[in-house]
Amino acid sequence: AGPERQAVSILDYLLSSAIRSRASDIHIESLKGKIRVRYRIDGKLTFQTDLPGHVGERIVRRIKVLAGLDVSDTTSVVDGHFFLNVDNTDFDLRVSVLPTVFGCSVTIRALTREIGLKDLGDLGMVGPALMRFRRFLDSPAGLVLFSGPTGSGKTTSLYAALNYLNRSDMKIVTLEEPVEFSIEGISQCELRTTAGKGMLDKIRVMMRQDPDVIVVGEIKDDESAEAVVQAVQSGHKVFSTIHADDAFGAVLRIMDRGLRNYLLASTGLASVAQRLVRQNCPQCRAPYHPRPDIFAEFHVKGSTVDAWQFMRGMGCPACNQLGFYGRTGVFEMLLLDPSIRDALLSALNAAELRRVALKTGNYLSMREAAFIKAAQGHTPLEEAFGLLSYSEQQAFAHLDLDTNTIRAWMTPNGGDL
């Protein structure tokens, strides 16, 4: 009983410590003769401690008991969850167990309603982009696509947009797998429990509910894409997420899956791609000069690095000497207008598409958004540049950003955009 009680105490400490450290994930990894504990804080894995292997085995067994998993099964990949209250906040802890050559490794994701449901204005969109996006959400129909890599916050943004529209005169129905967070006033359905043989049948069930807004949790195959197209063509406002590198990639991907005719007939489409970037600690941030070669990579025409005031966290007790505290979204946003629609339908290459879109005032590129996030002091310029994928860097290699346009995006209402 003694060793088991010790394992319970250690696990309780690790879980509460991780949550108080704002960790999104807790990694308990079986290695040779020991287990390693790491927390993912603000997107970065940080080492916490090593524990003897026999202690680790008991901790893994305790986690399986809490998650309702078979303790005797050490060869299967299994998932479960359990609830924990820390400092009067309820957390849903999602457990994934992976058998390895040295024993089971466990990853625990900590979810809470307070983290999962945000106001649209708290996501990190720059003022003019947020204003335009709200205006689009207030329109009666159209398609809203959220894209980005796994863990980029696109589901959080989707829920924030739904929360913005969640009022007594709106009927919102969702088809998700699974339902991540429950929102009072919205009819949320899980894919596996909804009537209908396939996705198209399930969407038809949704449409019989007289909705104003339909949500398809993710477009991951041709059938789900066809379901989204069918819902859009029926005159509803439709939301979904899709795995794509950028806002144009998301639109091009769904065009390949049947949306081309819809684009010809309508301009009601918003594509939002996003990343998460670490924020400077507000207690210790200070002006600094970024590396000149990083500034040059942004190709900002008409200004030098000295024309901007960049900030970085210097490290203090509040941020555990890291210089960062929390993360914020960086958003590329594309609102379809006639010129962008014509460019998409004329099969221009990626660079030509961006060149057309940047002139419209209805497209904020990821490179502009990342630069603005640094120029406003939220994150170091090097951190902002690290958000850009290799393909994004190449797409803008011969395309300058305009200083006046960037400053206009930094104003509350967009100025002369």
Please report whether residue 415 resides in a domain. no
Output the six-digit token pair for 219: 């477009």
How sure is the predictor about 202, in pLDDT bands with cuts at 50, 70 and 90? Answer: confident
For residues 198 and 313, membership in a common domain is answered with yes
How sure is the predictor about 141, in pLDDT bands with cuts at 50, 70 and 90? Answer: confident
pLDDT above 60: residue 1: no
Domain termination residue (choose one: 112, 138, 170): 112
Output the six-digit token pair for 309: 């005031």
DSSP 8-state class, residue 281: P
How sure is the predictor about 248, in pLDDT bands with cuts at 50, 70 and 90? Answer: confident
For residues 168 and 276, membership in a common domain is answered with yes
The interaxial angle of helices 350-358 and 247-254, nearest 10 deg, is: 120
Smallest Cα–Cα separation from 78: which of 101, 96, 66, 64? 96
How far is CA 379 from its chain centroid?
A: 18
For residues 107 and 125, membership in a common domain is answered with no
Please report whether residue 267 resides in a domain. yes
For residues 68 and 140, membership in a common domain is answered with no
Dihedral, CA atoms, 285, 286, 289, 291, nearest 10 degrees?
-20
Q: Tens digits of per-residue pLDDT, 345-376? A: 887 777 788 888 888 888 999 999 999 999 99
In the chain, the number of structural domains is 2
Smallest Cα–Cα separation from 192: which of 209, 210, 179, 207? 179
Range from 29-38, 42-51, 192-201 carrying the lowest mean pLDDT: 192-201
Output the six-digit token pair for 284: 């210790």
Range from 12-16, 77-81, 161-165, 399-403 carrying the lowest mean pLDDT: 399-403
Give pLDDT, residue 252: 84
For residues 142 and 192, membership in a common domain is answered with yes
pLDDT above 80: residue 197: no
Smallest Cα–Cα separation from 51: which of 82, 17, 11? 11
For residues 102 and 80, membership in a common domain is answered with yes
Amino acid, single-letter form, for residue 161: A
The residue range of the domain holding 83 is: 3-112
Close Cβ partners of 56 (under 8 Å, ≥ 6 residues apart): 28, 30, 34, 35, 103
For residues 398 and 263, membership in a common domain is answered with yes
Smallest Cα–Cα separation from 325: which of 288, 283, 289? 283
For residues 44 and 141, membership in a common domain is answered with no
Q: Tens digits of per-residue pLDDT, 35-68? A: 999 999 999 999 999 999 999 999 999 999 999 9
For residues 108 and 128, membership in a common domain is answered with no
Range from 33-47, 96-110, 175-189, 255-269 carrying the lowest mean pLDDT: 255-269
**43-52 long-range contacts, CB within 8 A, separation 24+:** 43/151, 43/276, 43/278, 43/327, 44/278, 48/14, 48/17, 51/10
Range from 218-232, 274-288, 343-357, 370-384 carrying the lowest mean pLDDT: 343-357
Please report whether residue 416 resides in a domain. no
Q: For position 244, which CATH number holds?
A: 3.40.50.300
Give pLDDT, residue 330: 97
